[in-house]
Structure 1
Amino acid sequence: MAGNDKRRGATRKSNKKGMVVGSGGQRRRGLRGKKPTPKAEDRFAHPAKRKADAKKKAEQDQVKRRTQQENSPELVAGRNPVVECLRAGVPATGLHVAQGIEVDDRVTEAVREAKEHGIPVLDVPRTELDRMTGGALHQGLGLQVPPYRYAHPEDVLSAARDSGMPPLIVALDGVTDPRNLGAVVRSAAAFGAHGVVLPQRRSAGMTAVAWRTSAGAAAKLPIARATNLTRTLRDLQQEGLMVVGLDADSDISSDQLELATEPLVVVVGSEGRGLSRLVRETCDQTVSIPMAGDVESLNASVAAGVVLAEVARRRRV
């Protein structure tokens, strides 16, 4: 048969395409089992893979932005916050004063305090200060502060024990509003707390907004970050501290807090959902705040201030 002729120069006269002699092993390979089908997100050019890649990139960009924010200087805006930060000895790196502003006692004091502490005073156009503060109400003053250096929870406990008073620590469980964080820090400093503990994830950090709300109190009080808040609370329990959480559904009110004079951790929940399940289960006791009228709950920072004031009152008796 001409198509199977092995002689040199022989031509194939069949119209049939493909190999004529044998299958070249294709039939045998076709009988082999195939590998499991990859997941949709692992297949090249599959819509699910593109979606998974986009999600991964978004998470990486978010982590990158968070890292950049944590490592970049912050700008405290407003005359009163700037003056109080300077009085508290916040380690500022520059005082920005808008050109052409009306000078009052606060501006004069801010400039004087900055010069006494060796902080450069920079005259900048108001539009530039608007840009630097992101459009915040700066009143012509902006104080540049370096990234906040968080303490370790063990350092907060050591500072509390060195004070000679029963330790009082405030822990925040998922408080994401920096204004609430700053207000809690200010209340903690006002009512004798020895430090504040924040979870590393799903929590506000010491940004310029938190600095502004704390009015310099963050410079007087150590603020620590915990990798795992529940585990940190258990460690504090092992050190002899009682853990009390604020819970609107508790049958025990804050004015019945008999543990106030003991070494204590006061845990404040998030603005919406309150305490997380694991943190609530870790607490030795939960307390609510007695309220009149139809008000269902208080702002997290207000609730923290009420309970801390009660703790301070009982410790003075």
Structure 2
Amino acid sequence: MAVTRSGQLPLDFEYAEYADAPTQSMVDAVGRYFDRFQYEDRSTDFPRPYWRFHLIFDLCPLLEVLYLHCNFVGALGDVLPARPAPRTLRKVMLDSWTSCNLLQLYAVWKLQSVADVQLQMPLGISARIAPFVSGAVELSLLFEGDREAVHIDSQLSDARTRKLTCEALVVNKIATLAEILQDGDALSHLHTLTVPLSVLSLTLAGAYRWPRLAHLSVHIYADDVLETHHDGAPRSSWEELKCLRAAPALESLALHVHTSDGACDPPALDNARDLRQYLATLSRSIPREVKVYGFTAAIVHEMRALDSGEPRVLFY
């Protein structure tokens, strides 16, 4: 009676009848009104339908900021809107770790004009990422740690930004990222690029890309260049950098050398010398000055005494 008078229902219902278990009819009856049925030291939680947001754009026609966790099961139009979002949107942050395709939402909701869009989702084999960064002036594709995560950041025209963070589920994530860079139409205005060497090498194979590219930063991970030397010691081979012969004429080039996650020692002096020597073979294809990061202060000091020649390789 108290519940009826208050007009509200509690979250739990406790059943104290002395029996082995409540009858199914009792459970079904309680489940129509309560979230949980508790008896003795046991309880039953009743499933509730997924929240539906398919009318959110109708309810909020002047929506400016949208943060949404999209772990939904269902088709567009049933759980989420299947039409363009309000043009008043300035910032959108969506994340999902299920089969919800946020890149599809980006297209269906027509978010291209939104100033700031951030997505977080698994990187599936069917992901079409190029439309998400189409028109990029600056683009960064980088791995995190053991390469399980991928971070994609882009600056579009009119100060629009796009960020995509993915836990990689595909077997060949390097090929998936290279596919983004091979979309000439989407990246025809690209001016600045930050990219792993493995992705760059695959992208530039046999093709000329990005006619407006001026600034290139290449991140070199240990397994991109590491090989066993004749004395049995690991040593870096810089042959993969030959892909720079196919790069456009650049104004600046920076190389960021990373150690492997399990390595205790940073790149050695011999590696720095080998790198300088190999870059000399590319002098006709790269800028006259190249900046290199990732070596110890002692090696930087040693190599600074030898920074003459062409190209001029500056270690930081």
TM-score, structure 2 length as denominator? 0.24
Q: Whose helix proportion is higher, 1 or 2? A: 1
Q: Which has the larger radius of gyration?
A: 1
Q: Whose strand proportion is higher, 1 or 2? A: 2
